[in-house]
């Protein structure tokens, strides 16, 4: 998610560095949906998308897109978020404050206390907010110090989020295997022997997929890896969720997160997003997944990936 100076850019750069993908090019998209779909449509090899924040919780649109699209989670990155109040003008002049909805929500108390009269407006990203604030003195943005530098803004106040400790977890996606196979054959068909040429505008960047071996996780121990799944029960019955969680508990599989999301079919009907330690290919986990398959309507495995380790 762009433009330059967003937290997503920071996460993407960190992931590139961690995986030594030297020479990787960063492409910027207007919002979470566009960045997500870029990978599904073959416009990028990987997408880096925010999924949860320690103050504000889940990013709903990301959860919905994970359900609706064929994308695989192959990594995660946690970024410390230190929001600043940025503006060209002085604090007394501020009439409108812009940010991504997550940014505004993470600073709700600060904004209400210090700028009760200001109009709050959402933008596609915090950096987009900073870019706009660069144009009008009566506007301010909640964004990173890097965004201030990018768009020539003053940092009026630092660390304005409602809790000092503020972290966002980003996931790294690539197209699911079926999608990737289609995209690779598409590239191969459009490539002559030694000249790289791509006839479709969708493949303008002319990229090739990074070899998978470069991004395979270290699977030396179960806790070094995480797996994310989506479960749909369809029929609400007593103990259904308990049985699913029981299958994990019985095998001593450690759950790291469980989240519900409305199915959008009717009120009170949910999908459950579950993260746990270990890889889906591990026999212990395979067994637990087999056991729960009989008790539920849908199981979607989103991917197994190395758990984030603090540098």
Ligand X SMILES: O=C(O)C(=O)C[C@]1(C(=O)O)C=C[C@@H](O)C=C1
Binding-site ranges for ligand X (CB under 6 A) = 1, 6-8, 50, 53, 59, 81, 100, 102-103, 125-127, 168
What's the Cα-to-Cα distance from 193 to each of 42, 45, 189, 196, 197, rounded to whole Å?
A: 22, 22, 10, 8, 10
Nearer to ligand X, 152 or 206 (CB): 152
Known catalytic residue at 308 = no
Helices 240-250 and 283-293: crossing angle, nearest 10°? Answer: 160
Question: What's the CA dihedral at 129, 132, 138, 142 to 10 degrees?
Answer: 20
Whole-number minimum distance, CB 151 to ligand X, in Å? Answer: 13
Whole-number minimum distance, CB 104 to ligand X, in Å? Answer: 9
Nearer to ligand X, 45 or 52 (CB): 52
Nearer to ligand X, 41 or 54 (CB): 54
Of 29, 115, 170, 248, the active-site residue reads 170
Of 62, 123, 126, 168, the active-site residue reads 168
With tokens 């409108």, the residue in question is 96
Nearest to 126 by CA among 13, 9, 237: 9
Tokens read off for 123: 């933008």
Instruction: Name every residue whose Cβ is closer than 8 Å to that of residue 277 and which is 6 or more positions away in sequence.
Output: 222, 223, 225, 226, 227, 253, 254, 256, 307
Q: How far apart are CA 178 and CA 100, in angstroms?
A: 33
Nearer to ligand X, 53 or 87 (CB): 53
Whole-number minimum distance, CB 120 to ligand X, in Å? Answer: 14
Whole-number minimum distance, CB 103 to ligand X, in Å? Answer: 5
Known catalytic residue at 170 = yes
**Active site residues per annotation:** 168, 170
């Amino acid at each position: 998610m762009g433009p330059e100076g967003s937290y997503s850019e920071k996460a993407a750069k960190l992931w590139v560095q961690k995986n030594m993908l030297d020479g990787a090019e960063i492409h910027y998209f207007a919002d979470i949906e566009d960045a997500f779909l870029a990978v599904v449509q073959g416009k990028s090899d990987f997408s880096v998308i925010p999924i949860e924040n320690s103050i504000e919780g889940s990013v709903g649109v990301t959860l919905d897109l994970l359900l609706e699209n064929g994308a695989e989670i192959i990594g995660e990155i946690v970024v410390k978020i230190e929001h600043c109040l940025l503006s060209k003008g002085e604090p007394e002049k501020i009439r409108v404050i812009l940010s991504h909805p997550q940014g505004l929500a993470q600073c709700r108390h600060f904004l209400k206390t210090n700028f009760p009269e200001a109009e709050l407006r959402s933008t596609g990203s915090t950096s987009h907010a900073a870019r706009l604030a660069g144009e009008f003195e009566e506007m301010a943005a909640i964004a990173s110090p890097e965004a201030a530098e990018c768009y020539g803004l003053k940092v009026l106040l630092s660390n304005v989020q409602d809790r000092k400790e503020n972290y966002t977890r980003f996931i790294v996606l690539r197209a699911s295997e079926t999608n990737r196979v289609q995209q690779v054959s598409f590239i191969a068909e459009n490539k002559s022997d030694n000249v790289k040429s791509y006839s479709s505008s969708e493949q303008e960047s002319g990229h090739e997929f990074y070899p998978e071996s470069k991004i395979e996780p270290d699977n030396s121990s179960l806790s070094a890896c995480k797996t994310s799944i989506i479960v749909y029960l369809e029929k609400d019955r007593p103990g259904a969720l308990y049985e699913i969680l029981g299958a994990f508990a019985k095998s001593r599989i450690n759950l790291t997160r469980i989240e519900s999301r409305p199915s959008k079919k009717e009120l009170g009907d949910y999908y459950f997003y579950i993260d746990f330690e270990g890889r889906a290919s591990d026999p212990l986990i395979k067994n637990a997944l087999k056991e729960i398959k009989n008790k539920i309507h849908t199981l979607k495995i989103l991917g197994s990936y190395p758990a984030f380790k603090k540098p």
